[in-house]
A and B are shown apart, each in its own frame.
Chain A
Amino acid sequence: MDPDSRNPALIAQSLSCERGGRHLFAGLDFALAPGDALVLRGPNASGKSSLLRVLAGLLEPTEGQVLWHGKDTREDPADWRRSLAFLGHGTALKPQFSVGDNLGFWSRFEQASRTPAEALEAVGLSHLADLPASMLSAGQQRRLALARLAARPGGCWLMDEPTVTLDAASVEQLSAMIAQHRAEGGIAILATHEDLAVENAAVLTLGVRS
């Protein structure tokens, strides 16, 4: 992941974040080119989620900036937001809606390039499209949340603990999904404790600071 050898799409420059008077990380620099992946590791409360939220633009960094194709994502967020797919702790699902309707709304709202049917296929939930989301197990809900990312290939996926509640087969499926996303020129940044197979990924280990 040498930023000089290829054209980096996403650049983080000396990112620092402070939450509740506690320094989570400081002076983080990295650059990711299309097809790259970055795995964030570290103990609980080391700032993995906060880093993802800072990158997404949900949290203000105390210092530094994030550039997407050379543009500051804070000052000129339009391109970044069109390319960004974020998976946080919540699944963003409405139990009142069916599986298909849940995904259908986000696909329309985020103007996804793949159809909901294709995205459901990618996470193996096609046969449950008409089921109310409230009937899904925790792992299936997670897969449905991942389908939202599958509907938006090619950009940058930010994933916070994507493997939580997933069974072994689904974790493998997620690995394959990320591999395909990268093959299509996408970038994946994920925080995880699990040994999710992500080939040739850069690893950034955050530590607990005082």
Chain B
Amino acid sequence: MSAFTALVRRDVALATRRGGEAALTLGFFVITIALFPFGVGPDPELLGRIAAGIIWVTALLAAIVSLDRLFRQDLEDGSLDLLALSPMPLELVVLAKCLAHWLVTGLPVTLLAPVMGMMLQLDPEAYAPLIIGLALGTPALSLVGAIGASLVLGARRGGALIGLLVLPLYIPVLIFGISAVEAALAGLPVLPHILIEGAVLVVSLPLAAFAGAGALRLAMD
């Protein structure tokens, strides 16, 4: 498993260097959310009602910002050939890169969400389901995003295509993340929604591994 951890550590190191994806993604997340009070007005009641939706949709968009670079740099400099030739299956290579992507995008977004919630006057009842939902949902965003990132490797305008391809696939993650928050606000049980969000993550694991590896093999051909 040490090849797996070596790859995760390399990708995290690359993303956290100056000019890496980590700072870019977090900056995008914070600035985009900060725009909403300007756009819809500072009314705390209105902001509080849409806060969870703002945070979730912005988390979706933030996941996409750095997806184009997930495999492209490795393809262009020849690293992907070597990753594919390692004794470690290509499916695990995809999962290692997804884990690294989540560690530098989804995890910081999840940790920053309560701060953003405070800024938007989020109802105190909503914090726990929001954060648990993001903790389960953001890894799924990285996994499903990896499928899109590997599929558009052959295309010249990959960056714009990824959004078109991946955002519709993010809808289930968004729906169950939001429904957990809505249930908490309505005083209904939250657990079923959280469990479904977890199920989405579980399903996206093998899906990303096999579909991503298949698309990478096509891109290297």
Contact = CB atoms under 8 A, between A and B. Distances in A.
Interface of A: 56-60, 77-78, 81-82, 84, 86, 88-94, 96-97, 101, 105-106, 108-111
Interface of B: 2-3, 6-7, 10, 13-14, 17, 19-20, 73, 76-79, 81-87, 220-221
A109 B7 contact: yes
Given A58-B85, A92-B82, A96-B17, A109 B6 contact: yes
A90 B85 CA distance: 14
Contacts of A81: 85-87
B66 to A, nearest CB: 15
Contacts of A86: 81-82, 85
B2 A91 contact: no
Contacts of B87: 77-78, 81-82
Contacts of B83: 109
30 contacts: A56-B81, A56-B85, A58-B81, A58-B220, A58-B221, A60-B221, A77-B87, A81-B85, A81-B87, A84-B85, A86-B82, A89-B78, A91-B78, A92-B79, A92-B81, A92-B82, A94-B10, A94-B77, A96-B17, A96-B19, A97-B13, A97-B14, A105-B10, A106-B82, A108-B3, A108-B6, A109-B6, A109-B82, A109-B86, A110-B82
B3 A90 contact: no
A111 B82 CA distance: 13
Contacts, number: 66
DSSP majority for the B interface? helix
A126 B20 CA distance: 28
Given A59-B221, A96-B17, A108 B78 contact: no
Contacts of A77: 87
Nearest to B217: A58
Contacts of A60: 221
Q: Which 5 A-B pairs have the closest CB atoms?
A: A90-B78, A108-B6, A92-B79, A92-B78, A81-B87
Contacts of B76: 90
